[in-house]
Amino acid sequence: MGLISTIPFETIGIAVFALTGALVAARRGMDPFGFALLATVTGVGGGTLRDLLIGTRPVFWVGDPKDVLVCLVVAGIVFALGPRRVTALDGGRRGRALLWADAVGLALFAVGGTGKALAADVPALSAVALGTITATFGGIIRDILAGTTPLVLRKEIYVTAAALGAAVMVGARAAGLDPFTSAAAGFTGAFGLRALAILRGWSLPVFPRRDADG
């Protein structure tokens, strides 16, 4: 499978995820280094783990640092905007822009990661897992560094959306659809489920907590 259909998805996904990292840095009142760090680890974190798992050498951003440059540029722009404009960008006090940008990045990385896994000739189930990892790992690092509970550990529908998008893309390719159409279908599945979860407050059931003495 050629990578022509996945390159736009992953490149745009890096920029979008870098934006979420910069917005989190703004919320935490970080300095420029903090902005650069969160934007970069969010933008390239998932793809880094994916490349390590499938044995790609060198890791994509090591061989071509333009993706790191994209992250740094996004971080610099957000920092330069200042508190008032960033608050407006982030949707005011409700801060909904971060959720929506993260949803877009999640869907883009789900199909980008899955596409690269399929190009490496890994089995279908492994490709779904790698697409899910690509879509979620950068956000995990971002939230941990920012001192917040990662979305994947909350009851929100998040990992499920990434896995759905990856599975739809794998299924579409198995059905004989072309790479771009398969990626578009996967993106629609991932973003659609995540968007519905945000709009309607959908969440997964949680295991009941027991009392400390229980």
Span 65-90, pLDDT tens digits: 999 999 999 999 999 999 888 887 77
**Percentage helix, strand, coil, to 5, in the chain?**
75, 0, 25
Task: Name the band, by pLDDT with cuts 50, 70 and 90, for residue 92.
Answer: low
CA dist 179 and 117 (Å) reads 13
CA dist 212 and 97 (Å) reads 38
User: Which residues lie across from 203 on neighbouring strands?
Assistant: 156
CA dist 79 and 37 (Å) reads 12
State percent of the chain over pLDDT 90: 70
Residue 174 structure tokens: 């198995």
pTM for the full predicted model: 0.87
Q: Are the C-beta atoms of 44 and 61 separated by less than 8 Å?
A: yes
- Judged by average pLDDT, the poorest of 93-107, 158-172, 190-204 is 93-107
Q: Inform me whether the pLDDT recorded for 109 exceeds 70.
A: yes
| 203 phi and psi angles, rounded to 5 deg | -150, 165
Residue 97 structure tokens: 């822009």
Give the chain's length: 214
